[in-house]
Amino acid sequence: MFIIVVYDICDNRVVRILKICRKYLNWVQNSVFEGEITKANFVKLKAELEKNMKKEEDSVIIYGLRTTLYSFRETIGKEKGGEEIII
Amino acid sequence: MFIIVVYDICDNRVVRILKICRKYLNWVQNSVFEGEITKANFVKLKAELEKNMKKEEDSVIIYGLRTTLYSFRETIGKEKGGEEIII
């Protein structure tokens, strides 16, 4: 599946969250990661995020696409991410 | 269609972009909007964004879902947005 992760994390934890996301996904913009991920890695990613966040202060939203057939992606302005984008 | 807009805009333009997005979509997190939008409004939104950005400095990514049937949305931690979320 393809997922998009957006996060709003307090400064003292944001680098840890960035490093976790980078293990599984592509950085595309500040606080935004995307990419294909297996179910097993998706479970691992969420567990690591939960372990390194303060739920009452931090926010992570995950959008998941079981197929990218019915979705599209458009960029206006600078394409910040580097890696090859799938949808 | 349902869209997710994430943006990375220079400070002197970000309020304008926020106000534009708020006309069409729901704020859910810093620099992240989502919501259902008609094709006509989608065209208008993009035109307004382009008019108010500096393409060589700013970045907007739009993820579009023609149907939300094959997608899901999960939140970890604080749900920042207020409005009713659709998918």
Class of domain A2-65: alpha beta
Token pair of A39, please? 């179910």
Given CB atoms, is A64 within the 8 Å cutoff of chain B? yes
- Assess contact for A8 and A31: CB atoms under 8 A: yes
Spatial distance between the Cα atoms of B33 and B26, rounded to a whole number of angstroms: 5
Closest CB from B59, B70, B80 relative to A70: B70
Q: How many CB atoms lie within 10 A of CB B56?
A: 7
CA angle A66, A68, A71 (to 5 degrees): 120
Closest-CA distance, A15 to chain B, in angstroms, reads 17
Q: Please answer yes or no on whether B61 and A29 come within 8 Å at the CB atom.
A: yes
Mean pLDDT by 10 residues, chain B (87 residues): 97 96 96 97 98 96 94 91 53
Q: What is the pLDDT of residue A84?
A: 47
- pLDDT tens-place string over residues A19-74: 999 999 999 999 999 999 999 999 999 999 999 999 999 999 999 999 999 999 99
Among chain B residues, the shortest Cα distance to A33 is held by: B6
Among chain B residues, the shortest Cα distance to A29 is held by: B8
Dihedral sign for Cα atoms in the order A75, B81, A8, B18: positive
pTM of the predicted model, to two decimals? 0.91
Q: What is the pLDDT of residue B82?
A: 56
